[in-house]
Structure 1
Amino acid sequence: GEHHGHHHHHHEHRGLKEILHIIDHTEISDRAKETACRIFRILAEAESAAHGVPMEEVHFHEVGAVDSIVDIVAVAVCLDNLNITRAVVPVLCEGSGFVRCQHGMIPVPVPAVANIAGANGLKLKLTEIQGELVTPTGAAIVAAVKTDDKLPEAFTIVKTGMGAGKRSYERPSILRAMLIRGEESRKDTICKLETNIDDCTGEMLGYVMDRLFEEGARDVHYIPVFMKKNRPAYQLNVICSEEDADRLERVIFAETTTIGIRRLCMERTVLPREVIQVGTPLGQASVKVCRLEGENRYYPEYADAARLSREHKRPFMEVYEMIKAACPKKQDVQPAE
């Protein structure tokens, strides 16, 4: 009994709450803490589903081991250090068959990996290799940091890192990560949704625009049009990414009188861009930086310029120019692709 009691007590200290507490008290940057905690939450969610217990009661056996905390925190620190804001993971190659764990033989992908992949939309590709190629920790890291499925069409490799696993399979057990840079102007695909509306009030149209922006539309605008029998009406245009199109169409159907929406997928060319923070005599402001043939163009964010103008009772134009003047000279900024 003595031994069992001690063992039980030992486990209690490895719940999600304790692990998040440990991470929160490490001397790493806030961004790294945030990433590490996000990874552990995804892991806890998957383990809770696999064991059928609430998240608070998940005990990290294999995972709660100190080395796993170290693995996860190390990944978070490295990503923060390298200032990675976008991570492309096209597919995770997983083995097949069964693996032995403390619950006996379980099928590959193991339940926690299957849950993480399901909950976070990870693409799995099952290979003939017998064994587990994706661990719950690995899957959770991908789920927490992945921003894209597709590599840019053309890119240059800045650096490459390799990590080897301990088990030997018929294929080398190696994970490779590459730091890449896309080409200067990126072509990507965007969706345009449009519909003509001739029997909605102005208030309804104003409200639907707010709702569309809340749901992730990149741009929304109305064009006055004249429809049959010369009825004045509006054409609603929404620009969005392909994955958001279905959701935005549901908003349009729910909030307007339309009964049909046209959808058009278009290629567009965008300049590489990023948002930076700039310190001015009046306070901090966000600025969008676009790169064009080696030159940086700076566009202060309207909301910040307006806020500083109001706070300091200065004309908008003057504040806008002041923010532009405070922007770094071109060689200091290398916008992330």
Structure 2
Amino acid sequence: MERAVVIDPSISGISGDMLLAALIDVGADPNILKRLSEAVARVIDGVESVDIGVESVLKRGVRAKAVRIKIVEKHLEKSGADVIQDVEAVADEVGLGGDAKRIALNAIRLLVEAEASVHGVSASEVHLHEVGSADTAVDIVGVAMALESLGLVEAFFYSLPVAVGGGSVKMHHGLYPAPAPVVLELLKRRSALFFGGPVEEELATPTGVAILASLVDSFTKFLPLIRVEGVGYGAGQKDFNTHPNVLRVLVGRGDEFVEGLEAEDIAVLETDVDDVSGELVGYAVEKLFELGAKDVSIQSLYMKKNRPGYTVKVVSDLTTYPTLVKTLISELGTLGVRVFITKRLRVPVRERRVVDVEIGGRRYGVEVKVSTDYRGSVVVAKPEYESVRSIAKELGVPLRRVLREVQRAIEKLFGA
């Protein structure tokens, strides 16, 4: 079973220091903080001193870890390129491994790109204010170090919906309603699930959301199927009367994984109809595909009073399925659609390649669909029908003969 991590920002949002604290609470080596503080002080311009500590606190009856960061630094306005360079320099100074370093760099690049998009400039031109502080590098590199300490850099990451808070956020350019524009941009880029509240305070910070967006493989409404091995709580700085200000992290092993395959959340839609013609069903299928259905299938069945009918089954992502439900109702006149939210495992890498094949003394390039798992092993290699058909017509030979020759070439090349 694959290692799995569930990040739960549905309680009180997320910040970089809350995630770092939760990972330390679940078992990451706290000594990484000393190495981190020394590295930041050595390599980031303008930083005079860094003190990073961790302590146990109680948040509305919930025991949690809190990371306290004290940085004395000169105010230097930095570009996006400067901040990326700072994170990379700190990552190198603490000796992050390749996978952990990629986590850190992906997070800071995503953050800079989101800032640039909000301000309408390129990533190299954007000038950062709040994000330009050295504590951004502390949060991002610290989380990467903690994940490396726990052996989780290659785990499968889930996130529950993000509580973004409410009210106004004080920024360099003035007051903005929560969530801040860059937070909203980050959430939009990953199609992340989020909601307002439960308090009128900023709960989701740009750095915290950038780390989350760069890590997470699947945003889900509910906890996934997982065997929990550890739970960590990271405390935020503020205290609320309504709820514990904590971020929860679950670490364990997922029962829904198959090695080498990719898991994704899908919606399966089903409806039964018995008063529509085949032409109407065919038109509905075409429209469903045009609107983004991943797959559509039709099954014949007998319904009440032995009337012949159809079961229409549609596979969709979680964003598109409401539109497809409305389409089923409007096009087929059905009064109800069954909706099942589930997961499917699929071969993750699919590409088209051209295979050189000799047929009838002539050489042809045949287009082949090749699917491989995460280990690079070929699972399926299948020729495109139209490519094979055109060769058979040109040579005036049976399609079966061309398929046999192409299949031999595929087996020789891919072993599939």
What TM bracket, shorter-length normalisation? Answer: 0.5 to 0.7
Match in the other structure for 1:160 = 231
Match in the other structure for 1:48 = 116
Q: CA deviation at 1:126?
A: 1.2
**Residues 191 and 241 in structure 1, CA contact (< 8 A), matched pair in contact too:** no
Aligned pair partner of 1:133 in 203, 224, 228: 203
Q: Which residue identity lines up with residue 116 of structure 2 in the other structure?
A: S
Q: Does 1:73 align with 2:141?
A: yes
Q: Does 1:90 align with 2:156?
A: no
Q: Which residue identity lines up with residue 66 of structure 1 in the other structure?
A: A
Q: Which residue identity lines up with residue 85 of structure 1 in the other structure?
A: F
Match in the other structure for 1:62 = 130
Q: Which residue identity lines up with residue 243 of structure 1 in the other structure?
A: T
Give TM-score scaled by structure 1 length. Answer: 0.54
Residues 1:19 and 1:184: Cα distance change in structure 2 (over 3 Å): closer
Aligned pair partner of 1:191 in 251, 269, 275: 269
Q: Quick one: distance in 2 between partners of 1:135 and 1:41?
A: 16
Q: Which residue identity lines up with residue 302 of structure 1 in the other structure?
A: V
Gaps of 5+ in 2: 1-74, 258-262, 302-309, 350-370, 383-405
Give secondary structure in 1 for the equivalent of 2:196: strand
Aligned pair partner of 1:265 in 318, 329, 338: 338
**Residues 267 and 341 in structure 2, CA contact (< 8 A), matched pair in contact too:** yes
Q: Which residue identity lines up with residue 239 of structure 1 in the other structure?
A: V
Q: Quick one: distance in 2 between partners of 1:125 and 1:198?
A: 45
Q: Quick one: distance in 2 between partners of 1:188 and 1:215?
A: 12
CA RMSD, 1 decimal: 5.5
Q: Quick one: distance in 1 between partners of 2:84 and 2:110?
A: 13
Match in the other structure for 1:329 = none
Per-residue CA distance 1:63-91 (angstroms, 9 max, x = gap): 22333124223434655741222312223
Give TM-score scaled by structure 2 length. Answer: 0.46
Say which structure, 1 or 2, has more relative contact order (CA 8 Å, 6+ apart): 2
Residues 1:157 and 1:103: Cα distance change in structure 2 (over 3 Å): same
Q: CA deviation at 1:15?
A: 1.5
Give secondary structure in 1 for the equivalent of 2:137: helix
Q: Quick one: distance in 1 between partners of 2:340 and 2:300?
A: 25
Q: Does 1:151 align with 2:243?
A: no
Q: Which residue identity lines up with residue 80 of structure 2 in the other structure?
A: G
Q: Quick one: distance in 2 between partners of 1:245 and 1:73?
A: 38
Per-residue CA distance 1:28-85 (angstroms, 9 max, x = gap): 5555455444433442344335545444322222222333124223434655741222
Per-residue CA distance 1:162-196 (angstroms, 9 max, x = gap): 22234444454322211255667999852258997
Q: CA deviation at 1:160?
A: 1.2
Per-residue CA distance 1:281-310 (angstroms, 9 max, x = gap): xxxx9469xxxxxxxxxx972239xx9974
Q: Which residue identity lines up with residue 140 of structure 2 in the other structure?
A: I
Q: Does 1:302 align with 2:380?
A: yes
Residues 1:224 and 1:141: Cα distance change in structure 2 (over 3 Å): same
Q: CA deviation at 1:137?
A: 0.9
Residues 1:43 and 1:116: Cα distance change in structure 2 (over 3 Å): same
Residues 1:196 and 1:18: Cα distance change in structure 2 (over 3 Å): farther
Residues 1:70 and 1:173: Cα distance change in structure 2 (over 3 Å): same
Aligned positions, number: 271
Match in the other structure for 2:77 = 11
Q: Quick one: distance in 1 between partners of 2:277 and 2:147?
A: 46
Residues 1:47 and 1:235: Cα distance change in structure 2 (over 3 Å): same
Match in the other structure for 1:112 = 182
